[in-house]
Structure 1
C-alpha cells in the first residue's frame, strides 16, 4: 500500500494523528494518576472549570490562539499539554519519514505508547501495567507481521530486558530495603520485544547518559540534589528506545 501513496502522505498523516494522540496523552497524564478517567467527562479549564469549546481543543493551534491562557479566567494552560502534543506529532512525522507504510504506523504506535508511559512516569512515578502490556502486544504484533527485528530476536530481547532490570531492582531492594525500580523492568522488557536484544545495551546507555546529563544540568543551575531525590527512569528509557528505532 505504501508504494501506491505519495511519500509525504505518511509523515503528514502520522504527524497529525500524533498531535491528536499527544493531546489525549497529556490529558491521561494528568487525570489517570489522580484516579480520574480520561475517557469520561468533558475537558475543562483547570482554573475555573469551564468546559472547553471544540476550537480550544485543536492540538497546538488552540494553545497558540489562546496564547496559553484560558479565555475566561486567564489561568495559564499547562505547557505540558502543548509540549506533549508536539512530541506526539514529532513521533508520527519521524515514523512516517523513517518507514513510510505500515511499518511506520507500527513504529508510531509504539512511540505514542512510550510517550504516554514517559509522561505518566514523569508526572507520578508510575508506569501503568496496561500501557506496558499494550506496548508488548504491539511489539509482538510487529514481529508477527514480519517487521524487523525477527520474532526470535524480539522474544530474547523481552526476556533479557526484563531480567536485567529485575536483577538490578532486586539487588537494590536487598541492599537499601526499599523499592528503587517499579515498573521499569517491565518497560525495558517491552522495549526488548520491540527492538530486539541487540538494541538493549545502546538504549540503556543512552538513557543512563541522559539521566546523568540532566542531574549535571540541575547541579549547574544551583538546584540542591539529595541522595534521596528520585529521577524517573521511564521517560529516559522511552526516549532512548524511540531514538534507537528511528536511527
Structure 2
C-alpha cells in the first residue's frame, strides 16, 4: 500500500512537470511561436523565468498568480494544464500495462496542448489532432486488430454524422455551429473509444452546454475542445480500468 502511494505520488509530480510543458507548448502555438524552443518567460513582459519561478503549481501559488517582474497576472491556463498533467499521468497507470500507459500519457498530454490552443484561439491544430489519431490507433491495435476496425468504423460514422449536422445547421441558421477541428478530434478519439463514441458525443455536448452557461461568452461561441477532451479521457480511462462495458 505504501509503495503504491509512493508510486502514485511520484507519477503525480512527474505529471505536473509534463503538464506544464504540454500547456506551455500549446499556449506558444496559439501565439504562433515555436512550441519547443526558448526558455520559459512571462507572457506579458517577456522576462525569462528561473527554475524557482517555474515549479509547477508551487510557483503560481507562491507568486499569487502574478509575474515577479511586472506583476501582470499569470494566465491560469498554466495552472490548469499542470494539474491536468498530474491527472493524466496518474490515471494512465490504470491501464496496468507499461506500453499502454505510456501511450495514454502521450495522448493525454497531446490533448492538453491541443485544448490550450483551442481555449485561446478557438482552433484545434491539425498536427496535434493527427498525433491524437495515431496514439488512439496504437491503443486500439494493442487490444486487437478487431478493436482497430471498430474504431475506424466509429470514426467514419462520427465524421459523416457530424458533417451532416454541420450542413443542416448551416442551412437553417447560416452557421455550422460545430467546428471542423472538433469533428476531426472526435473522429480521432473514436479510434480509441470505438463503440463508446456515442457516449463521448453525448457527454461532451452536456459539458459544453454547462461551460457555455458558466462562461457566457459575449459572442456566443465556445471552445468545444476542452469538453471533448475531458469527456473522452473520463470515458476512456473508465474503460481502461475495465469498468466501461463497450470498451472491454
Q: TM-score, normalised by structure 1?
A: 0.84
2:95 and 2:7 mapped to 1: Cα distance? 10
Pair 73,148 (structure 1): closer, same or farther in 2 beyond 3 Å: farther
2:162 and 2:28 mapped to 1: Cα distance? 28
Corresponding residue of 2:170: 173
Give 4+ residue runs of structure 1 displaced > 6 Å after superposition: none
Corresponding residue of 2:200: 203
Corresponding residue of 2:188: 190
Corresponding residue of 2:116: 119
Pair 168,125 (structure 1): closer, same or farther in 2 beyond 3 Å: same
Superposition deviation, residue 124 in structure 1: 0.8
**DSSP 3-state at the match of 1:41:** coil
Instruction: Check whether the contact 2:56–2:79 (CA below 8 A) recurs between aligned residues.
Output: yes
Q: What is the aligned length? A: 235
Instruction: Check whether the contact 2:204–2:228 (CA below 8 A) recurs between aligned residues.
Output: yes
Q: TM-score, normalised by structure 2?
A: 0.83
Pair 148,74 (structure 1): closer, same or farther in 2 beyond 3 Å: farther
Could you report, residue by residue, the CA deviation over 1:128-177 in whole angstroms, capped at 9, with x for unpaired residues? 11000001111111222237982222221221222222222222234344
Superposition deviation, residue 30 in structure 1: 2.4
Could you report, residue by residue, the CA deviation over 1:8-30 in whole angstroms, capped at 9, with x for unpaired residues? 57644543332222212222332
Residues 1-247 of structure 1: pairs in structure 2 closer than 5 A: 7-8=4-5, 11-97=8-94, 99=96, 101-146=98-143, 150-180=147-177, 181-196=179-194, 198-217=195-214, 229-247=220-238
Instruction: Check whether the contact 2:28–2:35 (CA below 8 A) recurs between aligned residues.
Output: yes
Please list every run of 5 or more consecutive structure 1 residues that lacks an aligned counterpart in the other structure: 1-5
Instruction: Check whether the contact 1:165–1:188 (CA below 8 A) recurs between aligned residues.
Output: no
Pair 9,167 (structure 1): closer, same or farther in 2 beyond 3 Å: farther
Please list every run of 5 or more consecutive structure 2 residues that lacks an aligned counterpart in the other structure: 239-248
2:171 and 2:142 mapped to 1: Cα distance? 41
Compare the two structures and name the one with the higher helix fraction: 2
Instruction: Check whether the contact 1:14–1:105 (CA below 8 A) recurs between aligned residues.
Output: no
Superposition deviation, residue 74 in structure 1: 2.5
Pair 23,31 (structure 1): closer, same or farther in 2 beyond 3 Å: same
Instruction: Check whether the contact 1:14–1:95 (CA below 8 A) recurs between aligned residues.
Output: no
